[in-house]
Amino acid sequence: MNAKESNPADSADSVPKLGPLPDHIAIIMDGNGRWAQSRGMPRIEGHRRGVDTVRMVSETCTELGIEALTLYCLSSENWKRPQQELDFLMELLERYLVEERPLIMEQQLRLQVIGRRDRLPDSVIKEMNETIRLSAGNPGTKLVLAIDYGGRDEITRAAKQLCDDVQAGRLGRDEIDEQAINDRLYTHNLPDVDLMIRTGGEMRVSNFLLWQLSYAELWVTETCWPEFPRSELERAIENFRSRDRRFGGLSVGQ
- Residue 230 has a pLDDT of 98
Confidence label for 244 from pLDDT (cuts 50, 70 and 90): confident
> Is 122 assigned a catalytic role?
no
List pLDDT tens digits, range 73-115: 999 999 999 999 999 999 999 999 999 999 999 999 999 999 9
Would the annotation count 217 as a binding residue? yes
Confidence of residue 167 (pLDDT cuts 50, 70, 90): very high
Domain boundaries 29-240, CATH class: alpha beta
Q: What is the pLDDT of residue 109?
A: 98
Domain boundaries, the chain: 29-240
Query: In terms of residues, how long is the chain?
Result: 254
> What b/e sequence results for 218-234 when a residue is b if at least 16 CB atoms lie within 10 Å of its CB, and e otherwise?
ebbbebbbbebeeeebe
How high does pLDDT run on average in the chain?
Answer: 92
Q: Is 78 a catalytic residue?
A: yes
pLDDT at 14 over 60: no
pLDDT at 4: 40
Q: Does the annotation list 140 as a binding residue?
A: no
pLDDT in tens, 37-63: 999 999 999 999 999 999 999 999 999
The alpha-helical segments, DSSP class H, found in 5-116 are 8-14, 32-37, 43-64, 83-99, 101-106
Task: Give the three-state DSSP class for 128.
Answer: helix
Residues 6+ apart with CB under 8 A from 181: 155, 158, 159, 162, 211
77 marked as binding residue: yes
CA angle 237/239/240 to nearest 5° reads 65
What pLDDT is attached to residue 245? 80
The response to whether 232 counts as a known ligand-binding position is no
Q: Name the least confident of 1-5, 41-45, 191-195, 247-251.
A: 1-5
Question: What's residue 17's pLDDT?
Answer: 82
Catalytic residue among 78, 138, 182, 207: 78
- Residue 116 assigned ligand-binding role: no
- Annotated binding residue 2: no
Give the burial string for 236-254 (b: 16+ CB within 10 Å, else e).
bbeebbeeeeeeeeeeeee
The residue annotated as part of the active site, out of 2, 10, 30, 122, is: 30
